[in-house]
């Protein structure tokens, strides 16, 4: 599906079957000399079957096309290996380059989640079904690292890189001040809330995310183009809604600990999740993974502010109220 948004700017919506996200929005800026694709979709047949015919319909020559990846999740990074030609520049945030090039990301996650109470056998099964593990790029392309504030000029668009860590360690938005357009990636979504999960490579993921929301709230944007679901124009109102959402989850985490010390895995069932499952045991295994990561992020946020404490016992990390 192709949507004509503005002159030389198009949206291609790629399906994500059997995934709660449903689809991912990839944006194409078409120029005379160079084109730019913002986010790429997953490395899976269903995405390729839509992406390549759409690019052909738009008369996009991949030999004259660069890529910008907002962050390292597979639904944004997965098709880089198929789309990038030897002439392509693949822009990617500096903070995440080490992670995608590092060999231990998944192994470190396994160790970290196990220490936070996730049963090892369930965790291994979850990781084997994780979309980030299954649908990563077919090859690692050459990366051109970008930093906060850097400008990318393409087809009359002047795109400033805005580093917004939180959803991932070095998530990047793009902002055109003249046209008042914000490509928000997964930083701001309007119909669903971005998953804010803690990884070993991150410090205070939720704290970073809330700070990044404040950073973006100062931008004058009349059109916000997110990576999932619908676009919108009122991002400041949505920012307040997202802050309220996380405040409620923080309150739920504290309420869980009032019943006794718990690992993050034991706190997770006390959090309200928007998923069609009555009890924690009914959660799809992959969704337990995402919920676990978000629970840890909220507990770390509380820990950093002295609202909770933690301790280790028998190889597990427990959280407790002061």
Q: Which two tokens stand for residue 156?
A: 């009359």
In angstroms, the Cα distances linking 228 to 11, 25, 154, 203, 231 are 11, 6, 23, 26, 8
Q: Using one digit for the tens of pLDDT, what is the confidence trace for 60-117?
A: 999 999 999 999 999 999 999 999 999 999 999 999 998 888 767 778 888 999 999 9
Q: Using one digit for the tens of pLDDT, what is the confidence trace for 261-318?
A: 999 999 999 999 988 777 888 888 888 889 999 999 999 999 999 999 999 999 999 9
Query: Residue 286: its pLDDT value, please?
Result: 84
* pTM for this prediction: 0.95
Strand stretches in 16-64, DSSP E: 23-29, 35-38
Fold of 2-320: Metallo-beta-lactamase; Chain A (3.60.15)
Residue 174 has pLDDT above 80, yes or no: yes
Query: Residue 110: its pLDDT value, please?
Result: 86
| Distance (Å, whole) CA 95 – CA 97 | 6
Q: Which one, of 141, 205, 126, lies nearest residue 170 by Cα?
A: 205
Q: Which two tokens stand for residue 132?
A: 């980030």
According to DSSP, the residues that pair with 14 across neighbouring strands are: 24
Q: Using one digit for the tens of pLDDT, what is the confidence trace for 192-204?
A: 999 999 988 888 9
Residue 115, H or E segment: helix 105-115
Lowest mean pLDDT among 75-89, 119-133, 221-235: 119-133
Give the CA angle between residues 232, 237, 239 to the nearest 5°.
95
Task: Tell me 147's DSSP state.
Answer: -
Give the pLDDT band (50/70/90) at residue 142.
very high
- φ and ψ at residue 319, rounded to 5 degrees: -110, 145
Q: How many CB atoms lie within 10 A of CB 284?
A: 15
| Distance (Å, whole) CA 13 – CA 68 | 16
């Amino acid at each position: 599906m192709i949507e004509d948004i503005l002159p030389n700017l198009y949206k291609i919506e790629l399906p994500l079957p059997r995934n709660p996200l449903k689809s991912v929005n990839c944006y194409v800026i078409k120029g005379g000399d160079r084109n730019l694709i913002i986010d790429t979709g997953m490395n899976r047949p269903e995405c390729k079957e839509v992406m390549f015919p759409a690019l052909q319909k738009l008369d996009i020559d991949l030999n004259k096309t660069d890529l910008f990846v907002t962050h390292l999740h597979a639904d944004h990074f997965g098709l880089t290996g198929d789309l990038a030609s030897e002439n392509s520049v693949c822009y990617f945030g500096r903070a995440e380059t080490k992670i995608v090039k590092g060999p231990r990301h998944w192994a470190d996650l396994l160790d970290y989640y196990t220490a936070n109470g996730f049963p090892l056998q369930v965790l291994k099964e979850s990781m084997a079904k994780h979309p980030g593990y299954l649908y990563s790029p077919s090859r690692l392309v050459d990366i051109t690292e970008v930093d906060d504030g850097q400008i990318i000029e393409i087809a009359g668009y002047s795109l400033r890189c805005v580093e917004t860590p939180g959803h991932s360690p070095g998530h990047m938005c793009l902002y055109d001040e003249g046209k008042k357009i914000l490509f928000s990636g997964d930083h701001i979504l309007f119909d669903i809330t971005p998953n804010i999960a803690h990884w070993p490579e991150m410090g205070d993921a939720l704290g970073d995310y809330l700070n990044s929301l404040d950073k973006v709230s100062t931008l004058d944007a009349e059109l916000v183009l997110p990576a999932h679901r619908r676009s919108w124009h009122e991002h400041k109102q949505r920012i307040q809604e997202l802050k309220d959402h996380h405040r409620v989850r923080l309150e739920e985490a504290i309420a869980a600990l009032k019943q006794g010390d718990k690992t993050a895995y034991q706190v997770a069932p006390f959090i309200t999740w928007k998923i069609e499952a009555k009890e924690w045991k009914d959660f799809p295994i992959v969704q337990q993974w995402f919920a676990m990561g978000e629970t840890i992020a909220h507990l770390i946020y509380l820990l950093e502010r002295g609202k909770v404490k933690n301790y280790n016992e028998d190889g597990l990390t427990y959280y407790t109220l002061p």
